[in-house]
Chain A
Amino acid sequence: MDDVGPEGQKRLLDSRALVVGAGGLGSPVIQYLAAAGVGRLTIVDDDVVERSNLQRQTVHADADVGRPKVESASAFVADLNPDIDVVTHRTRVTKENVADIVPGHDVVVDASDNFPTRYLLNDFCRLQGVPIAHGAIYKFEGQVTTLVPGGPCYRCLFPEAPEPGTVPDCAATGVLGVLPGTVGCLQATEAVKLLLDAGDPLVGRLLFYDAMDMTFETAPYQRNPECPICGDDHVDSIDGIEYTSACAVGAD
């Protein structure tokens, strides 16, 4: 393929990608980044495989039920492409460990399932200059965007998360099984583009996917000069930010 070629393939092999979450979104991301030959994959997840996951979490199989997802995902990658180095962290990404996990990666794929993790990754990665391929799902809908230094960050779009309990999460509502497959593939596409420095990533654009209507739409969004993370007078570290509820950046 002209736009990748041996040089691009080498570039992927020399790349390091961090996938946060080895669930519905993380499964296709891990699968396609491994298949593409991204040389090092770091996978973070604190969960174990449950049978009810298998309708959508396609790197895990029936025999993996009860096994930590990072182990199951790592074994999947080893089967698919033994040339990939896999590093696993069986934990959640937290304010305390994020500085031990993120640095050293060329791209972060946010395949997490909760607002505190998403805001933490946005804030930390932006301050460190690491791009994020973001994807999130709700029942039959997906939202995808790409957050790179110089472009707007997630807080420019949504300064704060909804109050806890406002938006039901997937665990409470359920999700169309194939939905995270579609959205995760879009995130993997964006991650590969970022690693190859190819194409036109979803920067300053939010893509909406509606599985019921089978529509894809993008809406533009801008940098917020007053954004506490990437604005003109941004914070220097995440130390003063709480990632427990609405993820507000404190006024103090």
Chain B
Amino acid sequence: MGTVTWRLFADLAEVAEGREHTVSVDPDGTVGDAIDALLAESTGLRERIFDGDTIADDVNLMRNGSPADPTESVADGDELAMFPPVTGGR
């Protein structure tokens, strides 16, 4: 068992009620497992970030600062991030 830290931006942090969430994943876990662990403690986030069974087009995943895919492995101590576009300017 290891832990990874999620960082959430803009409205995602509001839906999940916090900008940072540390979750546990199995040693052979994936980014997808870490998403499941995050969703387990953040009700409402699933509806915001999923479009059907896949991550919505307007939500980007990163692992340790680089674009990531749900199928890739995570390691203990990884930093994962999820961000949407924002559009304000007025």
Binding site for B on A (CB under 8 A): 21, 23-26, 53, 57, 110-115, 118, 135-139, 141-143, 157-162, 166-171, 173, 175, 180, 208, 217, 219-222
Binding site for A on B (CB under 8 A): 9-11, 48, 56-58, 60, 62, 65-67, 81, 83-90
Task: Give the most central of B58, B66, B86: most A CB within 10 Å.
Answer: B86
Q: Would B10 and A138 count as touching, CB distance under 8 A? A: yes
The docked-state distance in angstroms from the alpha carbon of A148 to that of B62 is 23
Q: Would B85 and A141 count as touching, CB distance under 8 A? A: no
Q: Would B89 and A171 count as touching, CB distance under 8 A? A: no
Known: A141-B10, A158-B57, A158-B58. A220 touches B66 (CB 8 A): yes
Min CB distance, B81 to chain A, in Å?
Answer: 7
The docked-state distance in angstroms from the alpha carbon of A187 to that of B63 is 27
Min CB distance, A119 to chain B, in Å?
Answer: 10
Residues of chain B within 8 A (CB-CB) of A53 are 90
The docked-state distance in angstroms from the alpha carbon of A211 to that of B42 is 24
Min CB distance, A246 to chain B, in Å?
Answer: 8
Task: Give the most central of B10, B87, B88: most A CB within 10 Å.
Answer: B88
The docked-state distance in angstroms from the alpha carbon of A118 to that of B65 is 25
The docked-state distance in angstroms from the alpha carbon of A175 to that of B86 is 12
- Please name the 3 residue pairs, one residue from A and one from B, whose CB atoms are nearest each other, closest first: A170-B88, A138-B86, A113-B89
Q: Would A114 and B87 count as touching, CB distance under 8 A? A: yes
**Contacting B60 at CB < 8 Å: which of A112, A115, A157?**
A157
A23-B90, A135-B89 given; 4 more Cβ-contact pairs under 8 Å: A115-B87, A167-B87, A168-B11, A219-B65
**Contacting B67 at CB < 8 Å: which of A138, A139, A222?**
A222
Residues of chain B within 8 A (CB-CB) of A167 are 10-11, 84-87
